[in-house]
Amino acid sequence: MQSDQNFLMVLRFLGTNFHGWQIQKNAISVQEAFQDALFQVTKSVIDIKGCSRTDSGVHANSYCVSARISIEINEKNLALAINKFLPNDIRVMKCIKVNNDFHARYSCIAKEYVYLIYHDYVLDPFLHGRCLHFWYPLDIKLINELASTFVGTHDFSAFCTEDMREKKNMKRNVHHFVVQEKNKLVEFKIKADGFLYNMVRILIGTLLEANYRKMTKDDLMKILLSKDRKHAGPTVPPCGLYLNKVFYEEFVL
């Protein structure tokens, strides 16, 4: 009898047509589409582990899934077989055999998100739904300086959307937070050991507001220390957000 093999699969997807990763009662999700495709290959219902929740409309350059599979198949053929049954906006880019105790979520030590803004009066139509269209002046040097306020370990309660989940530890360690502009695209890149609900989108919205109001690092630190969502800026739309990299002890994906 074929013993289970634990596989790590790296997905890349456009989130425009999906209501996030997690299965929903009345809406299609990335997880549902992936599980349906995996069932077509294995002919069994397999418990899959996703590395993170992603919100409706959020994209992924690298999204990691682990699953124990009992069929005789190698990594390359497993990826090709699943892709055959996936919609065109989701693809398995890589498949790796991992240790039996590997878990896509709990083995993760850090994640990196990217948020894209198209900075021009007219939006490139090929980027529709894949970035935030923003035509107001941006002081990239100022925004970079302000973004550094959030590097380090802080309580990010002020930058989290409240929901029905139980209140928990709101501290996160941000490793880096940098902003750069090239060919009209402004890229916000943030890496941390974890993220709160809507944390990245609220941080970006706050930085855009701070840019407009010419705020200082002291102003942002006051918002951070307040631990009060009402003092932070707006939540920017999900269309510009990408899960960019997932970090594990053994490798980066």
Inform me whether the pLDDT recorded for 1 exceeds 50: no
- Mention every residue, 6+ apart, whose C-beta is less than 8 A from residue 218: none
Domain with CATH 3.30.70.660 in the chain: 109-247
Over residues 103-130, mean pLDDT: 96
Round the average pLDDT of the chain to a whole number and report it.
93
Catalytic residues: 55
- Residue 167's pLDDT is what? 65
Distances (CA, A) of 250 to 43, 191, 246: 31, 17, 11
pTM reported for the whole predicted model: 0.93
Q: pLDDT tens-digit profile of 83-96? A: 999 999 999 999 99
What tokens were used for 67? 């699953």
CATH label, 109-247, candidates 3.30.70.660, 3.40.30.10, 3.30.1360.170, 3.40.50.2300: 3.30.70.660
Return d(Cα 198, Cα 5) in angstroms, integer. 34
What share of the chain has pLDDT > 70, as a percent? 96
CB under 8 Å, gap of 24 or more: what pairs does 191-195 form? 191/110, 191/111, 191/112, 191/113, 191/245, 191/247, 192/110, 192/111, 193/109, 193/110, 194/110, 194/111, 195/111, 195/113
Within the chain, which residue ranges are assigned CATH 3.30.70.580? 5-106
| DSSP H/E element including 145 | helix 140-147
Fold exhibited by the domain 5-106: Alpha-Beta Plaits (3.30.70)
194-245 confidence digits (pLDDT tens): 999 999 999 999 999 999 999 999 999 999 999 999 999 999 999 999 999 9
Q: What is the mean pLDDT of residues 106-123?
A: 97
Tell me the average pLDDT across 17-25: 91
